[in-house]
Structure 1
Amino acid sequence: MAERRQLPPQIRRVELARRAGSKPVVRYQLTVDTGVVDGKRKQLRRRYRTEKEARAALAEIQGQVNSGTYVQPSTLTIENACADWLKSRHRIRPTTAAGYEYVLQPVRSELGELAVQDLTRRHIDELLVQLREGTLVRPGGKARKAWSARSCNYMLGALSQVLDQLVAEGRLTRNVASRVDRVPGKAKSLQTFTPEQVQAVLRGIAKDRNRHAWHLALAGLRRGEIAGQRWTDIDLANKTLRIGATRVDVGGRALDQDEPKTAHAGRVLPIPDALLAELTAARNRQAAEKLALGEAYSDLGYVVCNEAGEPYHPSTMSTLWQAAIRDLDVPQIRLHDARHTCATLMHLQGVPIALVAAWLGHADVSFTMRTYVHAQPEALALAARSFAPPLANAGD
């Protein structure tokens, strides 16, 4: 008979309590040191059905401990992990923080009680299916609308950052979110106005009290830049406009930010004559409104405001824009698409793309070309006509 190998000191043979007359149930209990955490020695204790399984687990755990890759068992939940990660994002812009809060909310509500170390790819895949189908319910009981592929992938990116931080801290072995396939989706089709449609819009808004806001949008300013623009940043005499402060929507609340969206977003632009005329008219219009309202007027210095001098919520501006173009015979595009229109028309008029990027406040010229410059049917027709001479001579 082969001699039985002696068990290592970390493994102990255990006979479990049994009923009279039944065969003994044997388990192999592993107790192994896994390092020191916060000055306290940690041990892992588990039972295995066979000696072979216990020995294999002992070798694996000791190898991980010796190499510094062992992760201590933890009861940290996904809810706490997300909350901790969001708190650590204190240096990011409020709008970005609000975006992270929003996309991580279904993760926290659906998987929040699950231990992070128990999270699997299947959990995330099933959540994505529910988000895409719109079968989830918000914490307040209201049905959640189906998410786009872009929103789902944004959520995956945020969750991956949460898990990456835990891996870096040695609290998680691997980031399972990084192994989840991104949701495929069609690129969003963006519309822009043609030069003729821009003229139709300008004629249609000629009596709109907020028409200077729409002129600013068609001049390429972001919604937040328009909403946050102050008269102190506009020099009508020298025809310049400085873009710095912004007014943005953060979780439904309007928030003023003294800094521009990015370092390159802060810029000084020359004011075109048509825009100069509209800004001058708006300044005079607001002065008359202030005189009529007296002390009740909120003289806060916003370029775009209501009759009482109060700044608009950014979302209200989008609503007012849609109302301004609703009855016009033009595509019903978003306020932000007016910015796309500016970039496209500048490009079609031969303005170098580097100057278009500088005008829009972009650091990356390729981003401007990829995101903000769109071919219009008339421009494509012009490109087609450029082939005519050489093709006409092909048979000569």
Structure 2
Amino acid sequence: MAHIRKRGKTYSYAIDIGHDPLTGKRKQISKGGFIKKKDAEAAARKIELLLDENRFIVLSKEIFSEYIVNWFENHYKNRIKQTSATNSQYIIEKHILAENPFATKEIAKVTTADIDLFYSLKLKENYSTSYIRKMHQLLNQAFGQAVKWKKIAVNPVADADPPSVKYEEMSIWSLDAIHEFLQHCKGERHYLTFLLAIYTGMRRGEILGLQWRDIDFDKKMIHVSRSLAHVSKSGYLLTTLKTKNSRRQIPIPEFVLHELRMHKQRQEEWKGLVGELYEDNDLVICTNTGTLQDPRNVVRVMKRLVKSTKVPNIRFHDIRHTHASILISEGVDIVKISRRLGHANPKITLEFYAHLLPNADNDIADIFHKAIQTNTK
């Protein structure tokens, strides 16, 4: 309800509109300078009508840098995974606050042109298109929430033009290179690590987060349910997976099951030798004392083996691409490949591997003609 007050020779109104969702402070709108009381009352009624219809917006004078810190700390951070929160916080501090020309503007005065300029600056600084897309997603969520909280009328990011993601050209191993590499690294501590990567297409963190309870030897299945990830100020931790599609079951052949059994047997023998010094975390891939394996050590071992084997020098993640390319070359359905890799949807798989799909367009005309002829007889 509006409060009408006379100040000197004029009237003013004040209307409570609740509390700020982030700060909890009381919010009020007011206006004065009305010669007659009835004019102040009429103006106040218009505002109250808009409030009743949820159409009234008081544009916030809050500085963008203050808003996004409050939004992240009090709203966004606790709704996402710890690893995602750490990565998002770094992007906000490094780019959206420290190196952002609109950081000191009032949030309601930030325009789409400001957002596009920000993306252009990041491109000139040679940041990857996928990394700039992550900045775009954060900004879109932050401004989108400001609209919901009625701090601004429209989301300036909605009409912005972030750069399209450019995927790096992937390197993959041939079947001969795979065979040569695996033969060469037999007997190495990380032989099973590389074998699992090649035969399952699992991500490095997923392999290093694998526990024995995740392996169903009877059904010949690996259950992917966690990953090893680096968390700021905490180091490497086992974390849950980002999406429901990342949590998946991967069928494996008897050959891999045999290698897993052999590895478990060696691990049990080692436990007996180490005794109380062994920290049993049920990990398939771990250090000599049972603790989490630093992913950087895996990379160092792979570089050494690649150099001595003289197979093409690829990244660990390219083993995943190699796995997918072999399945595609063997004619496996893209939807099945997507599920095996744990992609959010088959569209992502197609974007990565469309160039590897066999071109069967030449058969389409004959297939269509045959279908028509068959159904018209």
TM over 0.5: yes
Counterpart residue identity of residue 120, structure 1: T
CA distance in 2, matches of 1:384, 1:280: 45
Q: 1:34–1:65: 8 Å Cα contact kept in structure 2?
A: no
How large is the RMSD of aligned CA atoms in angstroms? 3.7
CA distance in 2, matches of 1:32, 1:325: 78
Matched residue SS, 2:29? strand
User: Which of 66, 79, 92 is the aligned partner of 1:80?
Assistant: 66
The sequence identity of aligned pairs, in percent, is 25
CA distance in 2, matches of 1:196, 1:233: 30
CA distance in 2, matches of 1:244, 1:310: 19
Distance 1:41 1:309, change over 3 A: closer
Matched ranges for 1:156-305 at <5 A = 156-184=136-164, 186-218=166-198, 219-236=200-217, 239-251=220-232, 253-257=235-239, 259-305=240-286
Q: 1:225–1:246: 8 Å Cα contact kept in structure 2?
A: yes
CA distance in 1, matches of 2:241, 2:163: 32
CA distance in 2, matches of 1:115, 1:228: 44
Counterpart residue identity of residue 75, structure 2: S
Q: Deviations over 1:19-62 (max 9, x none)?
A: xxxxxxxxxxx99868532376522579xxxxxxxxxxxx9xx7
Q: Deviations over 1:338-372 (max 9, x none)?
A: 12211221121122333323322346333333335
Q: Deviations over 1:258-296 (max 9, x none)?
A: x44432333333332332233223223322332232221
Q: Does 1:306 align with 2:306?
A: no
Q: Does 1:124 align with 2:115?
A: yes
What's the offset of the Cα at 1:184? 4.7
Match of 2:124 in 1: 133
What's the offset of the Cα at 1:196? 1.9
Matched residue SS, 2:57? coil
TM-score normalized by structure 2? 0.74
Match of 2:134 in 1: 154
Q: Deviations over 1:177-220 (max 9, x none)?
A: 23332125633222222222221221232232111011111121
Q: Deviations over 1:288-314 (max 9, x none)?
A: 332232221222111111122111134
Match of 2:85 in 1: 97
The structure carrying a bigger helix percent of its residues is: 2
Q: 1:249–1:313: 8 Å Cα contact kept in structure 2?
A: no
CA distance in 1, matches of 2:121, 2:29: 40
Distance 1:150 1:332, change over 3 A: same
Matched residue SS, 2:237? strand
Counterpart residue identity of residue 114, structure 1: K
Q: 1:212–1:282: 8 Å Cα contact kept in structure 2?
A: yes
Distance 1:177 1:325, change over 3 A: same
Counterpart residue identity of residue 290, structure 2: G
Match of 2:370 in 1: none
What's the offset of the Cα at 1:255? 2.3
Matched residue SS, 2:79? coil
Distance 1:267 1:130, change over 3 A: closer
Q: 1:211–1:278: 8 Å Cα contact kept in structure 2?
A: no
Matched residue SS, 1:179? coil
Q: 2:59–2:153: 8 Å Cα contact kept in structure 1?
A: no
Distance 1:166 1:311, change over 3 A: same
CA distance in 1, matches of 2:163, 2:11: 43
Distance 1:151 1:363, change over 3 A: closer
Q: 2:64–2:104: 8 Å Cα contact kept in structure 1?
A: yes
CA distance in 2, matches of 1:31, 1:159: 42
Distance 1:80 1:255, change over 3 A: farther
Distance 1:303 1:45, change over 3 A: farther
Matched ranges for 1:318-357 at <5 A = 318-357=299-338
CA distance in 2, matches of 1:40, 1:242: 51
Q: 2:82–2:231: 8 Å Cα contact kept in structure 1?
A: yes
Distance 1:117 1:222, change over 3 A: same
Distance 1:385 1:36, change over 3 A: closer
Distance 1:72 1:375, change over 3 A: same
TM-score normalized by structure 1? 0.71
Match of 1:390 in 2: none
Q: 2:206–2:227: 8 Å Cα contact kept in structure 1?
A: yes
CA distance in 1, matches of 2:31, 2:99: 30
Match of 1:42 in 2: 29
Distance 1:176 1:353, change over 3 A: closer
User: Which of 91, 100, 106 is the aligned partner of 1:115?
Assistant: 106
Matched residue SS, 1:303? coil
Unaligned runs of 5+ in 2: 1-9, 19-25, 34-42, 364-377
Structure with larger Rg: 1
CA distance in 1, matches of 2:236, 2:290: 16
